[in-house]
C-alpha cells in the first residue's frame, strides 16, 4: 500500500534518538504488519560492465578518478549473463540485478541491455538494472523489455551529497528516479552509512526517500566498504548498532518497502545480521560478489537462514517446485566451486 505520511528531517532524526530496544520493538511491530518476519527476498548481482566510470563517487572502486587496482571489463556478452542468471536461480535468488559502471548508458548499449532483460525474465527471474542516469526514452525502452526494478541510490543526504560526489547533482539522481517511476518500473533506491555523514544526514536521506511521490519498493542500506585508493578509505568504522538503528528507522518510515542489507554484510557477524533482520531488513544480495566487493558466501547465508528459521521468498512466475528448490540449494551449499559463479567483476 502506498505510504502517504510525509516526514520532516526533524521527525526522522527523533526516531534515531529512541532507546535501542524500544526502536527495534517499534520497527519489528511495523515489519510484522506488512511482511512475514521469517521470509527474505534474495537477489543476485552481476557486474555487466566493470570499472572506468567517469563519475567521482568517493567510495567507489569503479571510478576512473581513483587508483583502486580494479580489473576493468567492457559490457559482457548476453550469453554470459544468461548462464549467470541460470545459476543464480538455482541458488535460490528470485531477482537478478545487472550493474554497469556508467555515467549513463549510450544509445548503442540499449539493444543488448534489452536482450539481457528479456532473456533473464524468460528464466522466471525478476530483473533489475543499475546503469547510472537514464532519460525518459531509455527508461521506456527498458520497461518495454520487461525490466521490473531499476536501482539508483541517492547515497546520502542532499546536504552532505557534494562531499561525496561532484560529477552529478542530487537533482540528476531525483530526475532519474522520476524517469524510472514514470516508465512504470519499480524503484530501488537507498544509501550508504559510513561516508562520514552525521545522523541528521541519515534522517534527511530517509525523509527524502519516504517523501518521494511513491517511496521506493526496494531500499538498499549499505555499509561503507573501505576501498584502498578511494579518498574515504580511512573513514572511521561505523558502529554496528548505529547501522541497525538506520535499518529500524527505515522500516518505521517506509513500512511496506523491502529493505535490503547490501554492501558491507561480510563485515557483519551473524548476530549483527540477525538484529538487522529483526529491525526490518528483509532482502539480501546472495553469494556473489557485490559488483566488485566480496560478499558473504552462500554457505554462510544458508547456515544463518537455517539458524534463524528464515525461508526464501518465492516468485510465482515459472517457479521450480519447493522440493526441487530445496534439492538445488542443498547441492549449491555442498559445492563451494559454485560460490563465485556470477562474479564477473574480477
Q: Is 314 a catalytic residue?
A: no
Cβ-proximal residues to 51 (8 Å cutoff; 6+ apart), any chain: 61, 62, 64, 70, 71, 72, 73, 101, 292
Measured from the CB atom, the residue of 252 and 263 that comes closer to ligand SF4 is 263
State which of residues 43, 46, 48, 55 lies at the interface with ligand SF4 (CB under 6 A): 55
Q: Would the annotation count 57 as a binding residue?
A: yes
Q: Would the annotation count 128 as a binding residue?
A: yes
Nearest 10 degrees: Cα torsion 103, 109, 115, 117: 10
Measured from the CB atom, the residue of 28 and 72 that comes closer to ligand SF4 is 72
Q: Are 103 and 132 in contact (CB under 8 A)?
A: yes
Q: Is 260 a catalytic residue?
A: yes
State which of residues 63, 157, 246, 282 lies at the interface with ligand SF4 (CB under 6 A): 63
Q: Would the annotation count 260 as a binding residue?
A: yes
- Is position 222 an interface residue for ligand SF4 (rule: CB under 6 A)? no
- In degrees and rounded to multiples of 5, residue 278 shows phi and psi of -65, -35
Measured from the CB atom, the residue of 92 and 216 that comes closer to ligand SF4 is 216
Determine whether 320 is exposed, middle or buried from the number of CB atoms within 10 Å of its CB (0-12, 13-18, 19+).
middle
Ramachandran class of 124: left when φ > 0, alpha when ψ lies in -120 to 50, beta otherwise: left
Radius of gyration of the chain (CA): 19
Q: Are 293 and 333 in contact (CB under 8 A)?
A: no
Q: Is 53 a catalytic residue?
A: yes
State which of residues 62, 138, 222, 295 lies at the interface with ligand SF4 (CB under 6 A): 62
Q: Is 60 a catalytic residue?
A: yes
Which parts of this chain interact with ligand SF4 (CB under 6 A)? 53, 55, 57, 60, 62-63, 101, 132
**Can you say which residues are annotated as belonging to the binding site?**
53, 57, 60, 97, 128, 188, 260
Give the catalytic positions in this structure.
Answer: 53, 57, 60, 97, 128, 188, 260
Amino acid at each position: 500500500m502506498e505510504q502517504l505520511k510525509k516526514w520532516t528531517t526533524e521527525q526522522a532524526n527523533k526516531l534515531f534518538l529512541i532507546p535501542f530496544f524500544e526502536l527495534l520493538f517499534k520497527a519489528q511491530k511495523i515489519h510484522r504488519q506488512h511482511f512475514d518476519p521469517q521470509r527474505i527476498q534474495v537477489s543476485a548481482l552481476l557486474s555487466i560492465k566493470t570499472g572506468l566510470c567517469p563519475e567521482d563517487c568517493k567510495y567507489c572502486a569503479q571510478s576512473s578518478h581513483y587508483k583502486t587496482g580494479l580489473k576493468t571489463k567492457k559490457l559482457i556478452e548476453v550469453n554470459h549473463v544468461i548462464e549467470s542468471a541460470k545459476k543464480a536461480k538455482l541458488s535460490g535468488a528470485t531477482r537478478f540485478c545487472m550493474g554497469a559502471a556508467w555515467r549513463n548508458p549510450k544509445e548503442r548499449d540499449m539493444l543488448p541491455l534489452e536482450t539481457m532483460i528479456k532473456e533473464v525474465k524468460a528464466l522466471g527471474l525478476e530483473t533489475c538494472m543499475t546503469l547510472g542516469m537514464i532519460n525518459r526514452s531509455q527508461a521506456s525502452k527498458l520497461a518495454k523489455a520487461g525490466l521490473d526494478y531499476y536501482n539508483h541510490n541517492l547515497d546520502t543526504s542532499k546536504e552532505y551529497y557534494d562531499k561525496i560526489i561532484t560529477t552529478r547533482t542530487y537533482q540528476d539522481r531525483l530526475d532519474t528516479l522520476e524517469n524510472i517511476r514514470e516508465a512504470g518500473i519499480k524503484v530501488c533506491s537507498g544509501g550508504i552509512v559510513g561516508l562520514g555523514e552525521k545522523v541528521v544526514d541519515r534522517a534527511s536521506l530517509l525523509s527524502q526517500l519516504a517523501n518521494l511521490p511513491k517511496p521506493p519498493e526496494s531500499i538498499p542500506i549499505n555499509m561503507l566498504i573501505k576501498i584502498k585508493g578511494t579518498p574515504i578509505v580511512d573513514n572511521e568504522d561505523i558502529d554496528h548498532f548505529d547501522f541497525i538503528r538506520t535499518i529500524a528507522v527505515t522500516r518505521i518510515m517506509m513500512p511496506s518497502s523491502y529493505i535490503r542489507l547490501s554492501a558491507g554484510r561480510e563485515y557483519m557477524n551473524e548476530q549483527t545480521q540477525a538484529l538487522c533482520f529483526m529491525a526490518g531488513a528483509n532482502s539480501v544480495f546472495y553469494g556473489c560478489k557485490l559488483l566488485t566487493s566480496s560478499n558473504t558466501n552462500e554457505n554462510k547465508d544458508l547456515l544463518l537462514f537455517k539458524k534463524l528459521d528464515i525461508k526464501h521468498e518465492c516468485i510465482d512466475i515459472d517457479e521450480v517446485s519447493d522440493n526441487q528448490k530445496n534439492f538445488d540449494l542443498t547441492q549449491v551449499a555442498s559445492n563451494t566451486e559454485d560460490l563465485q559463479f556470477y562474479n564477473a567483476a574480477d
